[in-house]
Chains A and B, each alone.
Chain A
Amino acid sequence: MTKIVTHYNRRSFIKVSAAAGGGMLIGFSWLNGCKSNTTEPEVGVAVPKEWFEINGYIKIGDTGMVTIYSPNPEIGQNVRTSMPMIVAEELDVPWENVVVEQAPLNTGWYQNQFAGGSLSIRLSWNALRMAGATGRRMLMEAAAKEWELKVSDLTASEGVIKEINGERTVTYGEIASKAVGIEVPKEVELKGIKDFKLIGTSIKNVDGKKIVTGEPLFGLDFHRDGMQLAMIQHPPAFGMTVKDFNEAEIKSMPGVKDAFIVDTTVEEPGGFDEKGFKQLIAIVGESTWQLMQAKKALKANWETTGELESSDMHVKRLEKALVSGEVLESRRDGNPEAAFKKAAKIIERTYSAPFIAHNTLEPMNFFANVTEDSAELIGPTQTPEALEGSVAKLLNLPLENVTVNMTRIGGGFGRRLYVHFGVEAAAISKKIGGPVKLIYSREDDMTQGTYRPTYRSVYKAGLDENNNLIAFTVKGAGLPEGPVFPNRFPAGAVENYSAEKIKAPTNVTTGAWRAPRSNFTAGAEQAFLDEVAEAAGKDPIDFRLELFDRAIKDPVGEKHEYEPERYAGVLKLVKEKANWGAPKPNVHRGVAAYFCHSTYVAEVFDMIMKNGQPIVEKVWCAVDCGIVVNRDAAKNMIQGGVIDGIGHSMYSQLTFENGAPKQMNFDKYQLIRHSQAPKEIEVFFVENEIDPTGLGEPGLPPAIGALANALYKATGQRHYHQPFVTEKQVVG
Chain B
Amino acid sequence: MANFNLKINGKTQQLEVDPTTPILWVLRDHLKLVGTKYGCGISQCGACTIHLGDNAVRSCQLPVSSVGNQEITTIEGLSEHGDHPVQQAWLEEDVYQCGYCQAGQIMNASAFLKKNPNPTDEEIEGAMNGNICRCGTYIRIKKAIKTAANSKTV
Contact = CB atoms under 8 A, between A and B. Distances in A.
Interface of A: 38-39, 75-78, 202, 204-205, 207-209, 211-218, 220-221, 223, 229, 254-255, 286-290, 292, 359-363, 408-413, 439, 441-442, 632-633, 636-637, 639-644, 647, 665-667, 671-675, 677-681
Closest 8 CB pairs of A and B: A214-B35, A643-B136, A76-B98, A410-B100, A214-B75, A76-B97, A666-B44, A677-B138
Contacts of A439: 38
B45 A361 contact: yes
B68 interface: no
Interface in B2-23: 17-18, 20-22
Contacts of B47: 361
A209 B91 contact: yes
Interface of B: 1, 17-18, 20-22, 25, 28-30, 32-42, 44-45, 47, 74-76, 78, 82, 87, 90-91, 94, 96-103, 106, 121-122, 124-126, 128-142
Contacts of A674: 124-125, 128-129, 131, 138, 141-142
Contact of A214 (B36, B40, B131, B140): B36
A677 B75 contact: no
Contact of A675 (B33, B35, B129, B135): B129
Contacts of B18: 254-255, 289-290
Contact of B22 (A212, A289, A363): A289
B35 to A, nearest CB: 2
Given A289-B18, A640-B135, 10 more contacts: A77-B97, A202-B94, A287-B30, A362-B37, A362-B100, A666-B45, A674-B131, A674-B141, A677-B136, A677-B138
21 contacts: A76-B98, A76-B135, A204-B91, A207-B99, A208-B94, A212-B82, A212-B87, A212-B102, A212-B106, A287-B29, A289-B25, A361-B133, A362-B37, A362-B39, A362-B98, A410-B100, A667-B44, A671-B132, A674-B141, A679-B121, A679-B139
Contacts of B29: 229, 286-289
A361 B97 CA distance: 12
Contacts of A408: 98-99
B41 A441 contact: yes
B138 A666 contact: no
B124 A213 contact: no
B138 A289 contact: no
Contact of A223 (B32, B82, B100): B32
Contacts of B75: 212-214
A673 B132 contact: yes
B98 A75 contact: yes
Contact of A677 (B102, B103, B139): B139
A638 to B, nearest CB: 10
Nearest to A292: B41
A680 to B, nearest CB: 7
A388 B121 CA distance: 47
A640 B121 contact: no
A290 B18 CA distance: 8
B97 A636 contact: yes
B42 A288 contact: no
Contacts of A362: 37, 39, 98, 100
Contact of A678 (B78, B87, B139): B139
Contact of B25 (A288, A672, A673): A288
B125 A675 contact: yes
- Chain A at the B interface: mostly helix, strand, loop or mixed? loop
Contacts of B137: 636, 639-640
A4 to B, nearest CB: 32
Given A289-B18, A636-B94, A639-B139, A666 B82 contact: no
Nearest to A680: B139
A361 B39 contact: yes
Given A213-B87, A678-B139, A205 B101 contact: no
A675 B126 contact: yes
Contacts of B40: 442, 665-666
A320 to B, nearest CB: 34
A442 B97 contact: no
A131 B40 CA distance: 42
Contacts of B41: 292, 441-442, 665
A227 B148 CA distance: 40
A678 B140 CA distance: 11
B47, B97, B130 — which one has the most chain A CB atoms within 10 A of its CB? B97
Contacts of A360: 98, 100, 134
A632 B93 CA distance: 9
B94 A644 contact: no
Given A442-B41, A674-B142, A287 B21 contact: yes
Nearest to A81: B94
Contacts of A215: 35
B132 A636 contact: no
Given A212-B90, A213-B35, A220-B37, A287 B25 contact: yes
Contacts of A679: 121, 139
Nearest to A216: B34
Contact of A209 (B35, B82, B128): B82
Nearest to A637: B97
B34 A411 contact: no
Chain A CB within 10 Å — which of B34, B44, B47, B99 has the most?
A: B99
A208 B136 contact: no
Given A666-B44, A667-B44, A410 B98 contact: yes
A636 B96 CA distance: 8
B121 to A, nearest CB: 7
Contacts of B135: 76, 411, 640, 644
A207 B102 CA distance: 12
A233 B74 CA distance: 31
A363 B38 contact: yes
A205 B129 CA distance: 25
Contacts of B39: 361-363, 442, 666
Contact of A361 (B22, B37, B90): B37
Contact of A411 (B22, B100, B124): B100
Nearest to A632: B94
A78 B82 contact: no
B140 A410 contact: no
B125 A211 contact: no
A212 B91 contact: yes
Nearest to A202: B94
Contacts of B121: 679
A639 B141 contact: no
Q: Which of A212, A408, A644, A673 has the most CB of B within 10 A?
A: A212
Contacts of B126: 675
A216 B45 CA distance: 20
A19 B29 CA distance: 41
Contact of A78 (B42, B97, B106, B141): B97
Contacts of A681: 139
A665 B42 contact: yes
